[in-house]
Chain A
Amino acid sequence: MLGKLDWSAIPFDQPIPLVAGAVVLVAILGVLIWVVVKGHLPYLWHEWITSVDHKRIGVMYILLASVMLLRGGSDAIMMRIQQAVAYQSQGYLPPEHYNQIFSAHGTIMIFFVAMPFVIGLMNLVVPLQLGVRDVAFPTLNSVGFWLTATGALLVNLSLVIGEFARTGWLAFPPLSGLSYSPGVGVDYYAWSLQISGVGTLVAGINLVTTVLKLRTKGMNYLRMPMFCWTTLASNLLIVAAFPILTATLAMLLLDRYLGFHFFTNEAGGNVMMFMNLIWAWGHPEVYILVLPAFGIFSEVVSTFSGKALFGYRSMVLATMAICVISFMVWLHHFFTMGAGPDVNAIFGIASMIIAIPTGVKIYNWLFTMYGGRIRFATPMLWSVGFMVTFIIGGLTGVLVAVPPADFMLHNSMFLVAHFHNVIIGGVLFGAFAGFEYWFPKAFGFRLDERWGKAAFWFTFLGFYVTFMPLYIAGMLGMTRRLQHYDVAAWRPWMIVAVFGMAVLSIGVICQIVQLVVSIRNREALRDRTGDPWDGRSLEWATSSPPPVFNFAFHPDVRGEDAYWDMKIRAQQQSLEHEEPEYHDIEMPKNSPTGFVCAFFATIMGFALIWHIWWMVILGGIGAFATFVVFAWRDHDEYVIPAAEVAAIDRVNLEERRSLVSMAGAI
Chain B
Amino acid sequence: MSMTAAVGRTHADPHHIGLVVEHPGPASKRIVTAYGFWVFLLSDIVMFSCFFAAYAVLSGQTADGPRGSEIFEQRNVAIETVCLLLSSFTCGMASIAADVRNRFWFYLGMAVTCVLGLIFLVIEFREFADLVARGYGPSRSAFLSSFFSLVGCHGLHVSAGVLWLLTMMAQVFAKGFRADVLRRMMCFALFWHALDIIWVGVFSVVYLLGSAV
Contacts and interface: CB of A to CB of B under 8 A. Distances in A.
A218 B23 contact: yes
Interface string B45-70: 01100110110011001110000000
Contacts of A254: 138, 145, 149
Contact of B163 (A242, A277, A551, A624): A624
Interface in A536-593: 541, 551-560, 565-567, 569-570, 573, 575-578, 580
Interface stretch (B14-22, B73-81, B114-122, B194-202): B14-22
B103 interface: no
A219 B23 contact: yes
Nearest to B143: A268
A652 to B, nearest CB: 10
Contacts, number: 181
Interface string B1-27: 111110101011011000011111111
Nearest to B60: A268
A11 B179 CA distance: 55
A658 interface: no
B39 interface: yes
Contacts of B53: 277
B40 A578 contact: no
B158 interface: no
B104 interface: no
Contacts of B138: 254, 258-261
Contacts of A243: 43-44, 46-47, 50
B143 A631 contact: no
Contacts of A627: 167
Contacts of A239: 39, 42-43, 46
A247 interface: yes
Contacts of B63: 261, 266-268
A217 B23 contact: yes
B11 A242 contact: no
A241 B175 CA distance: 38
Contact of B167 (A247, A565, A628): A628
A251 B61 CA distance: 16
B139 A261 contact: yes
A307 B63 CA distance: 65
A112 interface: no
B26 A213 contact: yes
A516 B46 CA distance: 45
A380 interface: no
A576 B1 CA distance: 10
Given A259-B138, A262-B58, A269-B142, A217 B22 contact: yes
A220 interface: yes
Given A215-B26, A273-B54, A205 B1 contact: no
B2 A576 contact: yes
B47 A244 contact: yes
Nearest to B51: A247
A409 interface: no
B43 A559 contact: no
A205 B46 CA distance: 13
B24 A569 contact: no
Interface string B163-177: 100010001001100
A216 interface: yes
A205 B139 CA distance: 35
Contacts of A220: 20-23
Chain A: interface residue count, which band? Answer: 35 or more
Nearest to A573: B7
Nearest to B40: A205
A375 interface: no
B183 to A, nearest CB: 11
B9 A558 contact: yes
B95 interface: no
B184 interface: yes
A554 B25 contact: yes
B22 A218 contact: yes
B33 to A, nearest CB: 8
Nearest to B42: A239
Nearest to A634: B175
A350 interface: no
B43 A205 contact: yes
Nearest to A220: B23
A634 B178 CA distance: 10
Nearest to A235: B39
B5 A215 contact: no
Contacts of A244: 46-47, 50
Interface string A254-278: 1100111110101111100100010
B1 A215 contact: no
B31 interface: yes
B88 interface: no
A260 B149 contact: yes
Contacts of B40: 205
Contacts of A329: none
B35 interface: yes
A215 B32 CA distance: 11
Contact of B50 (A270, A277, A566): A277
A270 B143 CA distance: 11
Nearest to A137: B36
B90 interface: no
A240 interface: yes
Contacts of B54: 247, 251, 262, 273, 277
Nearest to B152: A254
A261 B141 CA distance: 6
A267 B11 contact: no
B55 to A, nearest CB: 10
A631 B171 contact: yes
A208 B27 contact: no
B2 A580 contact: yes
Nearest to A217: B25
B35 A209 contact: yes
Contacts of A569: 3, 5, 7
Contacts of A201: 43
A219 B25 CA distance: 7
A313 B15 contact: yes
Contact of A559 (B14, B31, B180): B14
Given A132-B26, A552-B1, A558-B11, 19 more contacts: A136-B32, A205-B39, A205-B40, A213-B36, A217-B24, A220-B21, A239-B43, A247-B50, A254-B138, A268-B62, A270-B61, A273-B58, A554-B25, A555-B4, A559-B14, A560-B14, A624-B163, A632-B174, A660-B3
10 contacts: A214-B26, A220-B21, A244-B47, A260-B139, A260-B148, A262-B145, A266-B63, A268-B61, A269-B142, A653-B2
A-B complex: 5 closest residue pairs judged by Cβ atoms: A268-B61, A559-B11, A268-B142, A247-B50, A259-B139
Interface of A: 132, 136-137, 201, 204-206, 208-209, 212-220, 223, 239-244, 246-248, 250-251, 254-255, 258-262, 264, 266-270, 273, 277, 313, 541, 551-560, 565-567, 569-570, 573, 575-578, 580, 624, 627-628, 631-632, 634, 636, 653, 656, 660
Interface of B: 1-5, 7, 9, 11-12, 14-15, 20-27, 31-32, 35-36, 39-40, 42-44, 46-47, 50-51, 53-54, 57-58, 61-63, 138-143, 145-146, 148-149, 163, 167, 171, 174-175, 180, 184
